[in-house]
Structure 1
Amino acid sequence: MSTTDEGGRPEAPFGDDYRALRPDDRVGERLRHSVRRQVDELRNNLTDPAVQRQLVRAVSSRYQERRSRTLTTLRGRGGRDVLLVGGEILVTDRTWADRGARQYLQRRGLTEAPLGCDDLEHRLTRLVTTSDQDVQTLDDTVGELRARGFAASLTHVTPMSPVIKNLGGPALGESLGPFADYPRFGDGDGDPVRVAVIDTGIDGHERGDGWLGSVARVPVDDPSTHGNDANVDLLDIQPRDGLLDFAAGHGTFVAGVVAQVAPTADVAVYRALRGGGAGSELEVACALVRAVKNGAQIVNLSLGGQTRFDQPSLALEAALDEIGVLEKQGGEEVLVVAAAGNYGDSVPTWPAAFRRVVAVGALTADLRPTTWSSRGFWVDCSTVGEGVLSTFVEGTESYEFTAEPDTFGPDAFAHWSGTSFAAPQVAGAVARLARERSLPPRQAYAQLVAGGRQVPGFGRALEILPGV
């Protein structure tokens, strides 16, 4: 076991274990410039309307290409555009079972449609328009139901554009060497802790350096998957131009962060975000339940978004309720960890803001609050989110998103910034402590944050992986 000795920095639960692998003298000025650009872009996402529109267009066009569904936006109460699936709403099973609510919805031109998720059929009903209704009309319908005390919502897209990435993408990074030579943090007497990463999927090609080699690659065109369990990241989908698409490699990067912090963990990757890194809240909810049914003890969600009424996502709430049932049936607890978001305000981001979810904000490399991370009473803990190093995919970035496109070779590593890359550090740290100390995940998490330094709006500050 390797943890901070008595008298060490309390916010650094593993001492210098990870920092020793990344000497400061290896961080050159070019890399510092690239990370500063990432941070500047994250700030611009919050204030520049043109950048916000470009992000929404990028996500919308790619989602529509893959799903043949139109995305639209409405202004949320937090003042930012909320991305929504057009022509449909979600209601709880109790709302649909109410005779008055059902008749009202039918009169409003809505009819029941397949949910597409067997695990949540008894909790949610998906309704689609039978006529050409605009999003404002549907929003009025939802508002009327909510005023009458019924649970209803437009179908949100998770994540929203500010959460998934900055426009420019990651920067070239130095290799951590072969995975076989990497220190075996998290070794213990028990079985490896099972961590699920729900994201864009994983690179379909196995790396030559052994990193992420144990993660299954399920071919996208494998008939046995029925289109649900394929976990390969589609790196070049729209347009097919031989360049890395928007959000490509995000899941590979996040999985690599978990593997660095807890190299003995059993990592599985689920692809719920497609078409430019976007997935509906229902797609993410289905993947969440599926991961737990497959045995996940810790689930990382480097995704999320603000909602139309600042209320919890109906689909994700249903998934968490279902996981509670599975925990009781199986007698094994599950810890869900989520990125707090890159909105730079205190408006709740879902799923991070659920009480049952660990919300992780982002700090600078010297553990100070960032200007772009979401914050607030609902954020539980934070760690470094600027210039994080992890595994990436092979390919060249597109000029559509950056004026300085990088080309990544085989076995690439990259530096990236965002709360997306703070959350998996916490998930990995819990997995490491759980195995080292033979603890269930929630107890391991409690011990992890016990020594963290309280930072207003950012919960407990933890130093895990170094940043730039």
Structure 2
Amino acid sequence: MTAYRTDPGSLGRPFGRDYAPAVAPLVADPGLRRVVDQQARELLNGSDDPEVRRRALAVRERVRGRWARGGGRVEMLPDQRDQERALVLGGEVLVSAASWPDVEDEARRERLERVEVGCPDLEDRVVRLRGDGDDVDARLTRFVTDLRRQGHATSFSYVTPLSPVMKPCSGRPAPGLATFAEYGPVDRSHGRGVRVAVIDTGVVAEPRSDGWLGDVARIAADAGPASNVDPLDADPADGYLDVSAGHGTFVAGIVAQVAPGAEIIAHRSLTTSGTASDVDVACALIRAVRENAQVVNLSLGTSTYFDEPPLALAAALDVVREIEAARGWETVIVAAAGNAGTRVPVWPAAFGRVVAVGALTSTLRPTRWSSRGHWVDVSTVGEGVVSTYVAGSQAPDVAAEPQTFGRDAWACWTGTSFAAPQVAGAVARAMTEHRLSSTQAVRELLAAGRPVADFGKALRILPGV
């Protein structure tokens, strides 16, 4: 039986109006609409508005500072159109292990040293090269370009941020939902028994008193790299929330709203500056799949210099396929399409096996700021999404209207980051509601969607402000 193919009048509403009554109190504040409009303008007009440019520069400097404190260097690399920009790790490139024997001599001539990849699952699949000197970036650009012309698999070492281009877009306090125990009329059985991994900035350490995200396991900060706790104020530690603090908590709360019975596993791969290397993200993805996540949400992505897939993420998907073949079932990977407003592919969303999610307005119309194109599979509301947030004050140099949030805060945020977890939650709900596998659930949800040019199939799940 086809689970979600219903009458034409309900096309695009796989769950009817289940979520609208529960969220209705959140959209009653008329001031939120103005803030949502401002958030959308910031995403769209980042290169035109002087204040937005100033805040974007402040974000960029915070990102550079975070990597410098760790001994690294981040650079903005214009693509070949000189429009989109990719964040790369300065002085580093990746080469596939298969190509390495043919390019080793050339790497030596360019004074590039082989270093550890930093992910055990990728050490025999990817070679990481590092160089130095004043001209290293020019040498690496020439090195990568020449090798690609010869047909070798190589790429820059990309930084994978929460958006293809880091743009500040502040949250805004919103009225709270009911406690998790009272959350209704959503059926608490939706998603029960489904494990959803959220690879992001982690989850806030202090459990909320309203019960939301109470079942999400916290691994304390003293556990080192294994910790999944969002430090909130670390990049830099200046008394303010970091640029992307609370992002993972917000995303996890969206999954919980759509599939309140799902088991949410939080992985902290991104720093609170909103960035991670593609190797770090690749390693977290492999770990989540190996730990039997049926659905993985990646509210992050990067464009690339040649529009090529980042090598580490491509290798990670090869590992994922091997894990799936050994155990006999597949994990659904959901990723945000990005906020660039162009058809330029954003990775990992643009991989064929990944469910790429674009963003629509609250009326299910295409947003001007969402990335789009033939590679986008599905879209849902991404403007004015309301979810769980964290306590603290926003830094005045990166927020248009700095806000202070208390305990059990809810916030209003805009971006494809917040469309993707709705789809991840919808997959979990569809699995339990109709006893489907994760891949069957995706097919049924897509069949229920309303086609929108360049945005795949439109679904209404959570309402936006």
- Counterpart of 1:376 (choices 373, 376, 393) is 373
TM-superposed CA distance for 1:4, in Å, is 9.0
Residue of structure 2 in register with 1:138 after alignment? 140
- 1:129 paired to 2:131: yes
8 Å contact kept, 2:230–2:272: no
- Counterpart of 1:320 (choices 317, 322, 325) is 317
Q: Structure 1 CA distance, aligned partners of 2:216 and 2:38? A: 32
Q: TM-score, structure 2 length as denominator?
A: 0.94
- 1:237 paired to 2:223: no
- Counterpart of 1:302 (choices 274, 299, 303) is 299
Secondary structure of the 1:420 match is helix
Structure 1: runs of 5 or more not aligned: none
TM-superposed CA distance for 1:250, in Å, is 0.4
In structure 2, relative to structure 1, the CA distance for the partners of 1:160 and 1:139 (3 Å cut) is farther
1:232-258 Cα offsets, whole Å, 9 max, x none, are: 112101332221110110000000000
Residue of structure 2 in register with 1:351 after alignment? 348
Residue of structure 2 in register with 1:16 after alignment? 17
Matches within 5 A, 1:70-81: 70-78=73-81, 79-81=83-85
- 1:201 paired to 2:205: no
Q: Structure 1 CA distance, aligned partners of 2:346 and 2:281? A: 15
Residue of structure 2 in register with 1:172 after alignment? 173
Secondary structure of the 1:85 match is strand
8 Å contact kept, 1:163–1:418: no
Moved more, 413-422 or 234-243: 234-243
8 Å contact kept, 2:197–2:266: yes
Q: Structure 1 CA distance, aligned partners of 2:141 and 2:35? A: 41
1:150-176 Cα offsets, whole Å, 9 max, x none, are: 111110110165566x52411111111
Secondary structure of the 1:390 match is strand
Residue type at the aligned position of 2:411: A
8 Å contact kept, 2:62–2:235: no
- 1:423 paired to 2:426: no
- Counterpart of 1:84 (choices 85, 88, 97) is 88
1:418-462 Cα offsets, whole Å, 9 max, x none, are: 000000000000000001111111100111121211100000000
- Counterpart of 2:461 (choices 457, 461, 464) is 464
Residue type at the aligned position of 2:276: G
8 Å contact kept, 2:77–2:86: yes
Q: Determine what percentage of the aligned residue pairs are the same residue.
A: 49
Residue of structure 1 in register with 2:182 after alignment? 181
In structure 2, relative to structure 1, the CA distance for the partners of 1:228 and 1:273 (3 Å cut) is same
In structure 2, relative to structure 1, the CA distance for the partners of 1:20 and 1:160 (3 Å cut) is closer
8 Å contact kept, 1:302–1:420: yes
- Counterpart of 1:401 (choices 389, 398, 408) is 398
In structure 2, relative to structure 1, the CA distance for the partners of 1:211 and 1:246 (3 Å cut) is same
TM-superposed CA distance for 1:287, in Å, is 0.4
Residue type at the aligned position of 1:175: G
Q: Provide the aligned length of Structure 1 versus Structure 2.
A: 458
In structure 2, relative to structure 1, the CA distance for the partners of 1:424 and 1:409 (3 Å cut) is same
Q: TM-score, structure 1 length as denominator?
A: 0.93
- 1:30 paired to 2:36: no
Residue type at the aligned position of 1:88: E
Report the RMSD for the aligned CA atoms in angstroms: 2.0
Moved more, 327-336 or 131-140: 131-140
Q: Structure 1 CA distance, aligned partners of 2:352 and 2:367? A: 23
Secondary structure of the 1:158 match is coil
Residue of structure 2 in register with 1:105 after alignment? 107
Matches within 5 A, 1:383-398: 383-398=380-395
In structure 2, relative to structure 1, the CA distance for the partners of 1:317 and 1:181 (3 Å cut) is same
Q: Structure 1 CA distance, aligned partners of 2:132 and 2:6? A: 64
Q: Following superposition, which runs of at least 4 residues in structure 1 exceed 4 angstroms of deviation?
A: 2-8, 46-49, 130-133, 160-164
Secondary structure of the 1:414 match is strand
Residue type at the aligned position of 2:195: R
TM-superposed CA distance for 1:45, in Å, is 2.4
Q: Structure 2 CA distance, aligned partners of 1:54 and 1:334? A: 38
1:22-59 Cα offsets, whole Å, 9 max, x none, are: 22794222111111111111112255583554442232
